Amino acid sequence: MNRSFKTLMGMRILGWGTALPEKVVTNHDLEQTLDTSDAWIVERSGIRERRIGDSTAELAIEAGRHALERADIDPASVDLLVLATTTPDQTVPATSAHVHDALGLGGGAFDLNAACSGFVYGLVVANSMLGAGNHRILVIGAETLSRITDWNDRNTAVLFGDGGGALLLESVGDEGQLLAWDLGIDGSARTCLKTEVGGKIEMDGREVFKRAVRAMVDSATRTIERAKIRPNEIALIVPHQANIRIIQAACDRLGIDRERAAIVLDRTGNTSSASIPLAFADAIDAGRLRDGDRVLLTGFGAGMTWGSALLRWQTPPSPNEREASTRQAGGSNG
């Protein structure tokens, strides 16, 4: 099946935003309570510190607000909120209900759980919903993994952190910026990384590591092929931020320069569905992208899920430019 988009309605990125709790927990802090060391954590994972605190809704609201402010649009003009999270604040209602209300959004809202691939799943769903007639969609990935981390388990406690990231999308009358994508799951591997209801994260690290590299490389390869480009045409790869060694192995196998990877895990740890938007926003803010650049988002997570999305970067239009192009197209504006 060819999953490259050839529709007359695609997406463009209008804004982006991030949120991190204030509290920094360094590897040295963890040395105080766990049989571990800064040297081990850095060498095996690349993580130096992580942020801990806030609720999932608070982080999602802050990231979403930054995205809306950057785009300078009326929140009520947003037609849909997709909140990717594995750590909702409560079972019912969805955390997106709180976020939708706090931001004053229009339209509907729902939570999406595809673990660490959640943000890419959300982006692809949002792209389809723009094609189905929505004009603006806010996609957020937000997590408080610290709440489901066993702080006495050195196998997992050193890896995870809290955070949020958001992209605000708008429909356009052409193919748009999402050129190709790939989503998948192998549910037979669902026990290698799991959290029971009310429980803490349990993980077979080595098994997840092996599967992660394979899943990311295969999914990214399918996506690159669907976009009909070559790996060396990718200007920036934004991988799920779980382990620097997984990222490097994936880059090497894909034939993408390691320097082209967006990395924040040294500062954030693994923030599951927030990790890709956090790394993407960091790269945009650092000025790493030029108009026309190809950007590959790729991740894997519990399930085991995987997801990749190939984007063409375009600097968002200013509010004036946006208004002019909307008037020309005869559409509505917010």
3-state secondary structure 96-139: HHHHHHHHCCCCEEEEECCHHHHHHHHHHHHHHHHHCCCCEEEE
Applying CB under 6 A, which of residues 75, 88, 269, 301 lies at the interface with ligand UT7? Answer: 301
Q: How far apart are CA 9 and CA 219, in angstroms?
A: 24
Q: How far apart are CA 80 and CA 134, in angstroms?
A: 8
Q: Select the span of 21-29, 153-161, 225-233, 284-292 touching ligand UT7 (CB under 6 A).
A: 153-161
Nearest to 184 by CA among 115, 232, 230: 115
219 binds ligand UT7 (CB under 6 A): no
CB 262 within 8 A of CB 237: yes
27 binds ligand UT7 (CB under 6 A): no
* 97 alpha carbon, distance to own chain's centre: 20
Q: How far is the CB of 298 from ligand UT7 (least distance, A)?
A: 13
Q: Select the span of 129-137, 170-178, 201-209, 278-286 touching ligand UT7 (CB under 6 A).
A: 201-209
Applying CB under 6 A, which of residues 145, 242, 249, 251 lies at the interface with ligand UT7? Answer: 242
Q: Please name the amino acid found at residue 229.
A: I
238 binds ligand UT7 (CB under 6 A): no
Tokens of 167: 């992209």
Q: Select the span of 39-47, 122-130, 166-174, 248-256 touching ligand UT7 (CB under 6 A).
A: 39-47
**Total residues interacting with ligand UT7, rule: CB under 6 A:** 20
Tokens of 172: 């356009």
CB 105 within 8 A of CB 138: yes
116 binds ligand UT7 (CB under 6 A): yes
Applying CB under 6 A, which of residues 4, 77, 128, 155 lies at the interface with ligand UT7? Answer: 155
205 binds ligand UT7 (CB under 6 A): yes
Just list the catalytic residues. Answer: 116, 240, 270
Q: How far apart are CA 182 and CA 169, in angstroms?
A: 19
* Binding interface with ligand UT7 (CB under 6 A): 36, 40-41, 44-45, 116, 154-155, 158, 193, 203, 205-206, 208-209, 212, 242-243, 270, 301
